[in-house]
Amino acid sequence: MQNQWKKVLLMGKSNAGKTSMRSIIFANYIARETTRLGYTQDVEHSHVRFLGNLVLNLWDCGGQEAYMESYFESQRDHIFRNVAVLIYVFDIESQQMAKDMQYFTLCIDALKTNSENPKVFCLVHKMDLVPEETRDQVFEKQEALIRGVVGSLDTTCFQTSIWDETLYRAWSQIVYSLIPNVAALENHLASFCQGCGADEVVLFERATFLVISHSTQKAFRDVHRFEKISNIIKQFKLSCSKSQAQFNRMQIKNSKFTAIIDAFTPTTCIMVICSDPAALPAMTLVNINNARSYFE
Ligand code: GTP
């Protein structure tokens, strides 16, 4: 199978939090470790393999003014050519929002002339610094400014912070938008969920624990449950690796449900939630084993 490379630009002014989020999602940093990160010099490239043949080619573009100017002038074609996704990070506490909007406008112009049908994701970031009761209002104001710039480009905005699960939610949706044949994957997952009598089945990317897809047969109240689980498992995996152990499988059983989280394909983990007492954990494990080959 041929690799599918997707160029992802990560842009925004200096200190917005770009390298912090990249390090948390892809390099197992915890939030407080990001205070030690230095400025990114020019562009830092990294490659992340997803679901077998999808490779994210991540360009973390340092946001200091001199670099930003060069992206729009001498490096314009090189940076903005063949972009699948632009992720623009706005520091909501910035004292120079007008300047930031100016850079964002230049980015969008350069993208429109150099790339075909790019997707744009705007992260209105560091929302933990905004009082909870005004967050939605602040976000809506920023989103309106963004929509005024992007025109007809396919654009999604998120409120994010490295201090809670909002970062995982945003990045899961970004990655999801890049997965080829996602409809086929979802069909497989729905059949599997019904076949083993589960309430819910969730597929996570194995290294990052980003949520790739899910199938839900029963209503759940907590809409942030996937991101919370991602965060918890990632922390648990980190403590495993500190004691030189490898995370492979977890089983949680109480009077209401059984949850199994298991390594699934070489690039995914699966979580199966069953509340039906007839669905025995051993049977669920057999079902997981049998389903593997369909997802590889
Ligand atoms: P350049 O490399 O200069 O382009 O900056 P950058 O956008 O990569 O910023 P970086 O990730 O280095 O983060 C700058 C600072 O912001 C660090 O001290 C982070 O700890 C902090 N930071 C990042 N995300 C958040 C957030 O969600 N909330 C808060 N309060 N601080 C954050």
Segments making up each domain of the chain, as ranges:
4-176, 182-295
Q: Output the residue whose Cα is nearest ligand 1's atom 1.
A: 14
Q: What is the pLDDT of residue 100?
A: 92
Q: Cβ(19) to ligand 1 under 6 A?
A: yes
ipTM exceeding 0.85?
Answer: yes
Mean pLDDT of 67-96: 93
Q: Cβ(16) to ligand 1 under 6 A?
A: yes
Calculate Rg over the CA atoms of the chain. 20
Q: Are 13 and 68 in contact (CB under 8 A)?
A: yes
For 159-201, the pLDDT digits (tens) are 999 998 899 889 989 988 888 778 888 888 898 898 888 899 9
Q: What is the pLDDT of residue 17?
A: 94
Q: Cβ(34) to ligand 1 under 6 A?
A: yes
For 40-52, the pLDDT digits (tens) are 888 899 888 877 7
Q: How many residues does the chain have?
A: 296
Share the mean pLDDT of the chain: 88
Separation of alpha carbons 220 and 230, rounded Å: 17
- Residue 137's pLDDT band, with cuts at 50, 70 and 90, is very high
User: DSSP assignment, residue 173?
Assistant: H
Q: Cβ(40) to ligand 1 under 6 A?
A: yes
Class of 182-295 in CATH: alpha beta
- Residue 129's pLDDT band, with cuts at 50, 70 and 90, is very high
- Bigger pLDDT: 282 or 153? 153
244, two tokens: 């030189």
Mean pLDDT of 89-101: 92
Q: What is the pLDDT of residue 184?
A: 84
- Residue 84's pLDDT band, with cuts at 50, 70 and 90, is very high
End-to-end CA distance of the chain: 12
Q: What is the pLDDT of residue 1?
A: 62
Contact residues for 64 (Cβ-Cβ < 8 A; gap 6+): 14, 39
CATH code of 4-176, in short, is 3.40.50.300
Mean pLDDT of 96-116: 93
User: DSSP assignment, residue 4?
Assistant: E
Ligand 1 center from residue 10 Cα (angstroms) = 13
Q: What is the pLDDT of residue 238?
A: 80
Task: Say yes or no to pLDDT of 2 above 80.
Answer: no
Q: Cβ(10) to ligand 1 under 6 A?
A: no
Task: Say yes or no to pLDDT of 85 above 80.
Answer: yes
Atom of ligand 1 nearest to the CA of 40: 2
- Bigger pLDDT: 128 or 247? 128
Residue 107: what are its φ and ψ, rounded to 5°? -60, -50
- Residue 245's pLDDT band, with cuts at 50, 70 and 90, is confident
Separation of alpha carbons 121 and 100, rounded Å: 15
Q: Cβ(125) to ligand 1 under 6 A?
A: yes
Core vs surface per residue 117-153: b (16+ CB within 10 A) or e: ebbbbbbbbbbbebeeeebeeebeebbeebeebbeee
Q: Cβ(23) to ligand 1 under 6 A?
A: no
Atom of ligand 1 nearest to the CA of 37: 12
